[in-house]
């Protein structure tokens, strides 16, 4: 049995009650309610993860598809300057695990919430206009990695319990986004991603980048 995130229990209870009411009205409707309740339980699953342990590794903060790799300035509210940095965007659909994890050992040195729109999170402009929670983690050797939880078309609630001054280890949970969304990771300048667009990332396990690596950015292709 996979553990359930505590934020999911109120929703599971609501879905289960709804299924009971629908079942009282009609057996087919009750079956639909039961399926939706099962999906809700599945959505809020919170499995354990095995995180690679080595200084310099940047681990994926989210489950999902690596949707985009480009260069962009971190959110203004983090105060990291206007210079573009390598950015990796991981898109979570409604079937992915939505618990988010810290990408690298360090201390949260900036945390800022900004309300906004709820555009499709797969759109590039979602990073600018959508509701978001932006964070910076600073490592022991003063490397800054920004990561941003971005709400999506269906997602309407960002949960984040990380705050300035908190110290985390890579792979530890810091929040979640409900019902489809995206997380962007901004790497230090000169650090190349070790993932490719279209690749599946696993929160707390997939190595997004290695600060110590000297190799160029990786490319990938679908092979049959």
Judged by phi (left if over 0) then psi (alpha if -120 to 50, else beta), residue 124 lies in: alpha
- Count how many residues are written for the chain: 224
- Given 112, 127, 181, 196, the catalytic residue: 181
In terms of C-beta distances under 8 Å and separation of at least 24 residues, what long-range contacts does 109-112 make, across chains too?
Answer: 109/136, 109/137, 109/138, 109/144, 109/164, 110/77, 110/78, 110/79, 110/80, 110/134, 110/135, 110/136, 110/164, 111/135, 111/136, 111/160, 111/162, 111/163, 111/164, 112/75, 112/77, 112/78
Please indicate whether residue 181 is annotated as part of the active site: yes
> Which residues form the catalytic set?
181
């Amino acid at each position: 049995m996979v553990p359930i995130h505590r934020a999911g229990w109120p929703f599971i209870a609501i879905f289960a009650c709804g299924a009971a009411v629908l079942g009282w009205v009609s057996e087919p409707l009750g079956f639909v309610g039961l399926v939706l309740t099962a999906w809700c339980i599945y959505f809020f699953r919170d499995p354990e993860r095995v995180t690679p342990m080595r200084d310099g590794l940047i681990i994926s903060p989210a489950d999902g598809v690596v949707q985009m790799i480009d260069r962009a300035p971190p959110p203004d509210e983090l105060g990291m300057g206007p210079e573009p940095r390598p950015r990796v965007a991981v898109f979570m659909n409604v079937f992915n695990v939505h618990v988010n994890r810290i990408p690298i050992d360090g201390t949260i040195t900036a945390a800022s919430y900004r309300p906004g729109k709820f555009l499709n999170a797969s759109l590039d402009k979602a990073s600018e206009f959508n509701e978001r929670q932006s964070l910076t983690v600073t490592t022991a050797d003063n490397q800054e990695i920004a990561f941003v939880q971005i709400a999506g078309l269906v997602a309407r609630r960002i949960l984040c319990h990380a705050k300035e001054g908190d110290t985390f280890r890579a792979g530890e949970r810091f929040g979640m986004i409900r019902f489809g969304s995206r997380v962007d990771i901004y790497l230090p300048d000169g650090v190349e991603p070790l993932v490719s667009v279209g690749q599946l990332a696993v929160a707390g396990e997939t190595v997004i980048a290695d600060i110590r690596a000297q190799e160029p950015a990786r490319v990938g292709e679908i092979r049959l």
